[in-house]
Amino acid sequence: MKRIVFTFLFPLTLSGCDFDDVPRFVPEQGHTDYRQEMRDLVQDISRYAKSVDSSFIIIPNGGVELITTNGKTNGTPDSAYLNAIDGINQNGVFYGYSIIDQPTPEAEQERLLDFLDIAQDDDVSILVTDFALSEVNIDDAYELAEGAGYNAFVTDSRTLDDIPIYPPEPNEENRNDIEQLLEARNFLSLTNTRLYSTPQELVDAINDTNYDLIIIDFFFNGAAYTEDQIESLKVKSDGGSRLLLTTMNIGQAESDRFYWESHWYSSPPSWLKEEDLSDRGHYYVNYWQEAWRDLLFGETSDYLDKILDAGFDGVLLEGIEVYEHLEEKKESDQ
C-alpha cells in the first residue's frame, strides 16, 4: 500500500486541503537551486519518518551550508531545515579534515564551528567525527569537542571500519539509559564491515562496548541484520539502553544496493547521472526527481521504510553535499 508523501515548495493553508491534489513543482532545467532541493528532500524525509515514528532521529552528514538561507556563516538560519533535523554530523572539525592526525586548518575550522554553533543554538545536536592517530591528538580532539559542547568520535580510519583501541573505553563513558539524542555523550560509527567475517561477529564486537549511540550500515554484504541482532545492538555492555542509527545515501545511487537494476548500466533512468570517479559504484542523481525519491521512501519496499520497519532509532543521511558537485558542474558548463 502506497504511503502518501507530502512536499510543499510554496506557502499553503492546510485547512480543508486534499493533499492528493497538491502538485510538486520541479524547477525548470538549468535553474535548479541544488541547495534548496536538498533541504526540501531532507525535510520531506523527516516529515515522512516522523509521521511513522515521532521519535525517529534525522541527522544529515555534512552540508553545513544548508544551515543558513544564503549558505554563509553570517546568513539567516533556515528554520524549516533546522526544525526538520535532530542533529548534524560533521567530519574533520578539529583533526583530519585533509590529512589524518593533522589539525584542521584554522580558517576551515572556524568556518565549520560558526555553522555548527548556529545549529546548536537552535537545539540541534552536534556530532563531530575527527581522524587522528596519536594519543595526544586524540585527547586534544575530544577536549576541543567537549569544550564546544559537541558529541565526538575520534578514529584512525576514514573508512570507519574499526572500533578504536584508544581510548580503551568510550569518551565520557556512562551507565545512563540513552533514549534521546541529546542524552548521548559519545558515539561509534562502524559503517564499513570489511574487517568482519559475519554479521554476528560485528554485532558481538559492538555489544562488548558501552557507546551511547551506534551508527552502522543497514546491510552486511547485502544482507539485512536480524530482528534479534538489531535489538541486541540497542543494549550497552553494561546493560544500559542506547540508540541505534543506520545510514542512507540520498544524494547518490549505489550499485550494490537492493534497489539497483542491472540494466541501468546500459540504459539508465533519466534521474541517474554519471559515476563518482572518486567513489566507484556511486552515481550522482537528480535527487529532486520523484522517481528517485520514490526509491527512498513512501512504500514498504523503499529504503527508509525498510529502516523504519527494522526498528532503527534514526538515520544518518549520506550524500548531502552532492549539491556542491552539481553547482561546480553547472558553473563549468556555462
The predicted-structure confidence for 248-269, as pLDDT tens digits, reads as follows 999 999 999 999 999 999 999 9
Q: How far apart are CA 217 and CA 190, in angstroms?
A: 8
pLDDT of residue 321: 98
| All cell numbers assigned to 87 | 542533529
| All cell numbers assigned to 230 | 538489531
Residues in the chain: 334
Of 9-18, 196-205, 307-316, give the lowest mean pLDDT range.
Answer: 9-18
Collapsing DSSP states into helix, strand and coil, what is residue 71? coil
What are the b/e assignments for 252-291, b being 16+ CB within 10 Å?
bbbeeeeebeeeeeeeeeebbbebbeeeeebbbbbbbbee
| All cell numbers assigned to 101 | 592526525
For the four alpha carbons of 170, 165, 127 and 199, in that order, the dihedral sign comes to negative
Residues in CB range of 325: below 8 A, 6 or more apart: 276, 284
Half-sphere exposure of 280 (CA within 13 A, CB side): 0
Q: How far apart are CA 243 and CA 236, in angstroms?
A: 10
Neighbours of 214 (CB within 10 A): 23
| Percentage, residues of the chain above pLDDT 70 | 90
Q: How far apart are CA 308 and CA 225, in angstroms?
A: 13
Sheet with 272-275: list strands edge to edge: 252-254, 282-285, 272-275
Helix ranges restricted to H, 22-153:
34-52, 79-84, 106-121, 135-148
pTM assigned to the model:
0.91
Helix ranges restricted to H, the chain:
34-52, 79-84, 106-121, 135-148, 199-207, 227-233, 290-296, 303-310, 322-333
Task: With cut-offs at 50, 70 and 90, classify the pLDDT of residue 333.
Answer: confident
Identify the CA nearest to 319 among candidates 256, 252, 245, 273.
Answer: 252
The predicted-structure confidence for 47-76, as pLDDT tens digits, reads as follows 999 999 999 999 999 999 999 999 999 999
Q: 253: phi > 0 → left, psi -120 to 50 → alpha, else beta; which?
A: beta
At residue 241, does pLDDT exceed 60? yes
Task: From residue 263, give the alpha-carbon distance in Å to each of 1, 202, 260, 266, 271.
Answer: 26, 33, 9, 6, 14
The predicted-structure confidence for 196-238, as pLDDT tens digits, reads as follows 999 999 999 999 999 999 999 999 999 999 999 999 999 999 9
